[in-house]
């Protein structure tokens, strides 16, 4: 058992929020090929124990996929870009979406994407991801198609991602999800730490910065994050160093 990470003094504990794809796991050609290394899961379990459960996953993936990827951990989480939230004590909050509208959106999308090689639709309950990793030149035309469809359904909005256009319920993002979880036990009163890699994580970085926390972006690109890791493996080393008390988070805070 590792010793407890160093703390600051008053309101000493941290709350840890992790994005998944591109953060806890390298990107893959297909979403179902993604795995978080077993050693990293073990470290996350240790971190969760040491922080009394203040470790949450904040992902564009739905909660069932988050749980599958992070098993046996099953704590607080926000899925589908904040449209679903589970608190540590097991309460669920979720965006409701009109099933007729979801079906209509899917049918309209399929009319276009069925004939586009390398483009496919991931159904995620109240959201869709339109993937084009295997057809990168389709990015712009796909954006126009997705935006035109979503313009007919004001309850939904378009979210950019890595080789993906996502359609999600309007009014939800990772920042709001982190903000909500920060008002629930055991996150209340802690200093938030959020690590992500994508434009979808910017809302989370913004909220964490507002709360004088620590925001870390993995990889290149403009970001509001105050810190930068070059690659996923650097995050793995950072978690290990944190558990072994080789680093202190206080020196990273944006205060």
Ligand X SMILES: O=P(O)(O)OC[C@H]1O[C@H](O[C@H]2O[C@H](CO)[C@@H](O)[C@H](O)[C@H]2O)[C@H](O)[C@@H](O)[C@@H]1O
CB of 72 to ligand X, least distance (A): 19
Tell me which stretch binds ligand X (CB under 6 A): 45-53, 128-136, 177-185, 187-195.
128-136
Beta bridge partners, 18, equal 57, 195
Alpha helices in 30-150 (DSSP H): 38-50, 63-70, 99-113, 139-150
Q: Which residues are catalytic?
A: 19
Residue entry with tokens 């996150």: 187
204 forms part of the interface with ligand X (CB under 6 A):
no
Shortest Cβ distance from residue 62 to ligand X (Å)?
8
Residues in region 8-37 near ligand X by CB under 6 A: 19-22, 27-31, 34
- CA distances (Å), 174 to each of 72, 159, 169, 226, in order? 23, 12, 13, 17
192 lines the binding site for ligand X (CB under 6 A): no
Closer to ligand X by CB, 56 or 129: give it.
129
Shortest Cβ 34–ligand X spacing (Å): 5
Decide if 143 contacts 165 (C-beta within 8 A). yes
Using the minimum distance from each CB to ligand X, give the nearer residue, 133 or 228: 133
185 burial via Cβ count (<10 Å: 0-12, 13-18, 19+): middle
Tokens standing for 249?
């988070």
Binding site for ligand X (CB under 6 A): 19-22, 27-31, 34, 59-61, 122, 124, 129, 131, 133, 161-164, 166, 198, 200
């Amino acid at each position: 058992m590792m010793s407890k990470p160093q703390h600051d003094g008053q309101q000493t504990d941290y709350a840890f929020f992790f994005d998944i794809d591109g953060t806890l796991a390298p990107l893959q050609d297909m979403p179902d090929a993604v795995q978080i290394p077993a050693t990293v899961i073990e470290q996350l379990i240790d971190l969760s124990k040491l922080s009394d459960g203040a470790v949450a996953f904040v992902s564009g993936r739905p909660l069932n996929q988050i749980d599958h990827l992070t098993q046996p951990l099953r704590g607080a989480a926000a899925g589908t870009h904040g449209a679903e939230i589970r608190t540590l004590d097991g309460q669920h909050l979720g965006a409701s979406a009109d099933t007729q509208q979801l079906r209509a959106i899917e049918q309209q999308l399929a009319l276009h994407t069925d004939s586009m090689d390398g483009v496919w639709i991931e159904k995620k309950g109240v959201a869709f991801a339109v993937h084009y990793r295997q057809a990168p030149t389709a990015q712009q035309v796909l954006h126009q198609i997705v935006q035109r469809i979503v313009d007919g359904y004001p309850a939904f909005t378009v979210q950019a991602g890595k080789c993906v256009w996502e359609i999600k319920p309007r009014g939800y993002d990772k920042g709001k999800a982190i903000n909500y979880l920060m008002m629930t036990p055991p996150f209340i009163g802690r200093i938030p730490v959020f690590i992500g890699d994508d434009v979808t994580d910017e809302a989370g970085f913004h909220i964490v910065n507002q709360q004088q926390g620590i925001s870390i972006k993995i990889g290149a690109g403009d970001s509001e994050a105050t810190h930068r890791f070059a690659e996923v493996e650097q995050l793995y080393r950072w978690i290990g160093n944190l558990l072994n008390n080789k680093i202190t988070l206080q020196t990273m805070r944006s205060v």
